[in-house]
Amino acid sequence: MTVEWARGGPDLLVMLESGGAPLGVQIQDQLRTAIRDRRLAAGERLPSTRRLAELLAVSRGTVVDVYEQLVAEGYLEASVGAGTRVAAMPTGGPSRQTPDTRAASASPPRRSVDVDFEYGIPDLGSAPLTDWSWAVSEATRTLPTAELGDEDPAGSMHLREVITAYHRRVRSGCAVAEDAIVVSGFRQGLAFALATLAQHGIRRIALEDPGPREHDVIARRAGLDAVPVAVDDHGIDVDRLRASGARAVLVTPAHQCPTGVALAPARRRDLSAWADDVDGVVLEDDYDAEFRYDRQPVGSLQGLNPGRVIALGSVSKTLVPAIRLGWVLAPRRFVSGIVKEKRLSSRGAPGLDQEALALLMETGRFDRHLRRVRGTYRARRDALAAEAELAFGPGQLRGLAAGCHALLRLPAGTSEGAVVSTAATMGVRVNGLGHYRVVAGNTTAEPDTLPPALVLGFGNVSQDQIRHGIRTIARAVHQPTTG
């Protein structure tokens, strides 16, 4: 897409040499080269003749002559009111393509996606943009001038106070502002936390299997070995965790990714005891605990054993991923290390955005948004459950009590990969459970055969799309090799 520069947009770099070819010839040659190399895109507006003449310290007549010559040659086109723009070059004309561009142009066209059951995407259309605009405006109006400089390395004290107060009130945590570090999202917070654990002598971390594969990459970059530990209907298997030799574990206890199970009360106690026994640490990914439907809220593990739990959160699921803000709530002995990792890696999240988020939460706008979208997600979940029962029978959809994704069990003997591929040819994108099997370093997940299943994210699809998607998947199950 061509950028539509406004009049008086950015300057155009043309470098003239004294004592060389005539100035007009130099300008012509450089503009031709820029257009041929696609550095100036078709349709892109050039500076006015007066502006370019001022920039190059040449007469306006020289630039007028250059533009007229290039219009005559077909490189530029000019019209009254639209200014002078780069003309469309023939498709066979010379251009410099990067390897990535050439590969993209050579790839076959893809079937458009009608329904995308991608996990982890909230309802983008429900983003509270009016409230966010108000919060940014209010932060801009009220933030003291002294706070417009470099922030506290741990982040805005105002936001840390609000986040920890919210966590104590809503999630039964017990962190205070001094335990919190503001980061620009969950992955960044996880990377900082794992690097700090490595500095404290922890060398191995356990990952839920199945679970997000990218966590292994983050662990290895932090200098830790990762091992997969199986998840069953009660959450992570703590007996297998004890046998793994790990001293850290990353869990999603409120709504496991991707199976949707909640960590059972006995397992929560066992996990806390394991951490005490091995002098270990539990990293808690609290990614969608706010969205619950048929059960009471599940408290944070951080409140159960604050000296052993690092809680990580962000607004990517509760608001939208484009607001790159998250937090780490850590035992005090790890805080300085995490802050140091943050200082070495970045200057932190934008200060005005931090203040805006604090205001959004403090004024109740954040909770009003959550109540609104919780109703939306409940309706979509109900539509998903009803359609899945019609297509596959009762009891095949799991993990429905909370969150924005569910697990659909396929009939025994079904080829999960074939269903995914066939559904894609029908315009429905979905991932199989096997996509989430963890292969950590040189350690492969245990060979237990998982039943064929699909992970269905329903946060960013309408009820009509859900119904259409499930019917399409049902057809794909009965003709898995079609396409």
Give 380-392 pLDDT, tens digit per residue: 999 999 999 999 9
Distance, in Å, from the CA atom of 333 to the CA atom of 281, rounded to the nearest integer, reads 12
* 167 in the same domain as 87: no
Q: How far apart are CA 468 and CA 170, in angstroms?
A: 36
Q: Indicate whether 343 and 382 sit together in one domain.
A: no
Residues 43 and 171 placed together within one structural domain of the fold: no
Summary mean pLDDT of the chain: 88
Distances (CA, A) of 363 to 107, 140, 321, 445: 50, 16, 21, 46
More confident residue, 260 or 444: 260
Return the sign of the alpha-carbon dihedral for residues 59, 64, 69, 71.
Answer: positive
pLDDT score of 106: 42
Q: What is the pLDDT of residues 107-144, one digit of tens each?
A: 444 567 899 999 889 999 999 999 999 999 999 999 88
- What is the per-residue pLDDT for 21? 86
C-alpha to C-alpha distance for 420 and 117, rounded to whole angstroms = 11
Note whether 344 and 425 are same-domain residues: no
Task: Tell me the pTM.
Answer: 0.82
| Residue where a domain terminates, one of 336, 363, 390 | 363
Grade residue 8 by pLDDT with cuts at 50, 70 and 90.
low
Shared domain for 283 and 141, answered yes or no, is: yes
Cα–Cα dist 189/67, whole Å: 52
Taking the C-alpha atoms of residue 281 and residue 219, their distance in angstroms, rounded to an integer, is 14
Q: What's the domain count of the chain?
A: 3
Domain that holds residue 4: 1-103
The span from the CA of 19 to the CA of 293, in Å, is 77
Please report, for the domain that includes residue 334, its CATH number. Answer: 3.40.640.10
CATH code where residue 8 lies = 1.10.10.10
The SS3 of residue 431 is strand
pLDDT at res. 440: 56
pLDDT at 210 over 70: yes
From CA 237, how far away is CA 105, in angstroms rounded? 47
Q: Is 261 found in the same domain as 138? A: yes
| Domain co-membership, 240 together with 389 | no
- Domain-located, residue 108: no
- Asked whether residue 109 is assigned to any structural domain, the reply reads no
Q: Are residues 387 and 358 in the same domain?
A: no
